[in-house]
Structure formats: structure tokens, C-alpha cells
Amino acid sequence: MSTRAQQYDATVRSREQLTPHLVRLTLDVPGFSSTGISDEWVGLVVPGQFQSRYYTVRSFDAGEMVLDVVVHEVGLVTEWASGDPVGQRVVITEAKGSFLPPGDARWLLLVGDLTALPAMARIAVEHGDRLPVRIHAEVPADSRIEGYFPGSAEVAWLPLDGESRLAEVVEGIDWPEGDGYFWMAGESAQMRAIRKHLMRERKLPSTHYDVMGYWRSVAKRQPRAVDPGPIWRAGKAAGKSDEEIWADYDAAQAGVEQ
């Protein structure tokens, strides 16, 4: 039995340069089935390529999909999206999503960088009528888009000077009272520190937050002395909590450093 993901043929209807770093593509995607999850993402395969790159669905309605694509200096999609893709055929893979606030959530706290803007905007639009939404967005000054988020959301635009500092931002956040839901996406290297902060300092149950690495900076990557994969799988098989597994990983790293 094939396990290949469902694919859809799509046509680029329009292109709009929102900022120097963000391009909006509107696609016709006949037959596409949305998950209905506010941070759902799809794979995009552009002409001349066979590899997919993943993007949040900014909106979807009646076969029309909007993707806000971050463009870089180089990349599989950047050159294509920076040109004139209108009228071209692309492939979209089936959608997946993870945003799932608990029923007792009294607020939403969203934190992210430029790549997280589309998801945070869609979450705010779809949930802001029943829950207060606070957004912390770390983007270049030239990519702060007036009106990108609904007026009901409380938005803090964070400066970006060199490397991302979202981990520090999260540690210094003034959290709302009561139970809520924390959602965050950005550069992968910072996600582990943020998860540990949420578990150990904030002591949030895993049902009350979602932290995802959307991209990876390779400029300063260093080989890991301890592979967390086997430790994670062994811990899960033993029924350990996330915090216990992180403690095992920390202990393994300490043993290597001695």
C-alpha cells in the first residue's frame, strides 16, 4: 500500500510583493482538502524542482489558497517566487497542522519570527472573536505590515538586529493570568531552550503549548556530542515525561563533557 502524501495540481493566480522579504501567492487548488487547523502547512513544489518546501496556509476558501512566502537571498523557491510565477503550475501536498488549544484556554499567546507571521495572523483571525490574542512578532523593520493582524489582537513588533532573540523574549514575557495556550514558531536552534523554559519554569502541561522549528540556521551549526534521538525514543518507550527525558539528555551531555 502506498504511503505517498496526497498531491494537488495548482495554478498561480496572482503574486503580490508585501515586503522586501515576503511575497503573497494566490493559488487555484481544485479539490484541495483543508484540515481546518489554523496553523496548517502544505508542501510546495515549484516548476523545475522535485523537492517540496513547506509553507503555512494563510487562508483557504472555495479552492483558493493564499501563501505568504518568505524569500531569502538564495533558495529553491526564492528565485521562482521573486520572478513572475503567475499562470504557472505547481504542486501542493496535503495539509497538516498542530494548533490545538485546550477547551479551558482563556487566552492565546503567539510568538514568532517572519516565517511565523502567516500562521499567527490566521490564528488571530479564526480565534480572536472568542479569546484575547497577544502576538510578539520579531521581523525586520521593513517587514512590519500595517493591518496584517486583525485589530482585535494585541501586537508587539520586536526589533531584529542580527540573530533572533526570541528565547530571551519568551523568558521575559509578562504572562496573562489563568490557563491559556502558548504557540511559537521560528528558528529551530532556539526551540529546545524555549521548551525547557516552558516545562521547568512555567511548568506548562504539554497540552497548553506548541513550539515548532520552522527553519534551521546552518551558519553556526556544531555537531552534537550526544544524539538526542535514541534518548528520546528510549524515554518514550519507558513512559517517561518530557522533563525526565530532557534530564536524561542533560546528564548524557554532562558525561561527555567530563
Residue predicted with more confidence, 197 or 63 = 63
Residue 42 has what pLDDT? 96
User: Among all chains, which residue has been given the C-alpha cell 487547523?
Assistant: 37
Query: What's the CA gap between 169 and 190, in Å, rounded?
Result: 11
Kindly report, residue by residue over 31-41, the tens digit of the pLDDT: 999 999 999 99
Residue 7 has what pLDDT? 92
Pick the CATH number of 107-215 from 3.40.50.2300, 3.40.640.10, 3.40.50.80, 3.90.950.20: 3.40.50.80
Nearest in space to 65 (alpha carbons), one of 17, 8, 150 = 8
Mean pLDDT of 30-54: 91
DSSP 14-46: EEEEEETTEEEEEEE-TT------TT-EEEEE-
Tell whether domain 7-97 is in CATH 2.40.30.10: yes
**In this predicted structure, which of 28-37, 41-50, 110-119 has the lowest mean pLDDT?**
41-50
> Where in the chain are all domains bearing CATH 2.40.30.10?
7-97
Q: What percent of the chain has pLDDT over 70?
A: 90
